[in-house]
Amino acid sequence: MKVSVVIPCYNEENRIENCVSRLSGYLSAKYPDYEIVLSNDGSTDRTASLATKAAEADPNVKCVGYERNRGKGCAVRTGMLAAEGDFIIYTDCDLAYGTEPIGRAVDLACEKGYGVVLGSRNLDKESYEGYTFTRKIMSKIYLRVISAASGFSHSDSQCGFKAYRRDAARDVFSECEIDSFAFDLEALIKAENKGYKIGEMPVKIIEHDESKSKIRPVRDTLKMLRDIRRIKKKEKILRDNK
């Protein structure tokens, strides 16, 4: 069994080497066959050169990407479609949830027959430990608004840790178009509509630097709501044309 981990990267020159080192240590000890896919989202710092250097030094590391910044959704989609593992996980370059959830997600998918496994911060009461009180409340409100607007039934569509079986990843991400933060929801709604079995597992934030967060709650919530309308409209057209 081969396991792939996709890391979307935008201006991560201060994190990428540590990220690759930690992932390599964890994956090489647990899985004989693995790969790390670094997906560069048009970074303007040394991210691309450091990713290339990592790939040259380790055959288990692969670099993909493009020159112009397009958004995390595009970076994840590019990496997911380039990955070759039987299970493909994506998480952020800061490894906010650590490496341990990788093995748990793969084991859970194998045991329960899930096509998709979502990490959920709402299933672990200590998950928001690294957040300020205000950010914690805003995050929870944001998730409730998104859930109500989209009709998605699981507890945390926006968690940055997800695992897909390879067939589900290919099927879902080959049809995705959203480049913004709504990409998670677009992929999950597609997976749900295609009949893939979706499971959840608790994850806890163990490393979080709020000062480097790229999320802007009010602006991004409004954009997310617009994207949700677009996603739902497109999915309705697809269903009606079947």
Average pLDDT, rounded, for the chain: 87
Q: What is the pLDDT of residue 175?
A: 95
SS3 222: helix
How many domains in the chain? Answer: 1
Rg of the Cα atoms in the chain? 17
Cα–Cα distances in Å, from 229 out to 88, 222, 223? Answer: 28, 11, 10
CA distance 213 to 192: 29
**Res. 225 pLDDT band, cuts 50 70 90:** confident
Q: What is the domain-level CATH number for residue 204?
A: 3.90.550.10
Cα–Cα distances in Å, from 93 out to 90, 137, 185? Answer: 10, 24, 20
Kindly report which listed range (68-82, 103-117, 175-189, 201-215) carries the lowest average pLDDT score. Answer: 201-215
CA distance 41 to 80: 13
pLDDT > 70: percent of the chain: 77
Cα–Cα distances in Å, from 106 out to 2, 100, 182, 213? Answer: 10, 11, 24, 28
Domain with 125 in it = 2-240
CA distance 166 to 114: 11
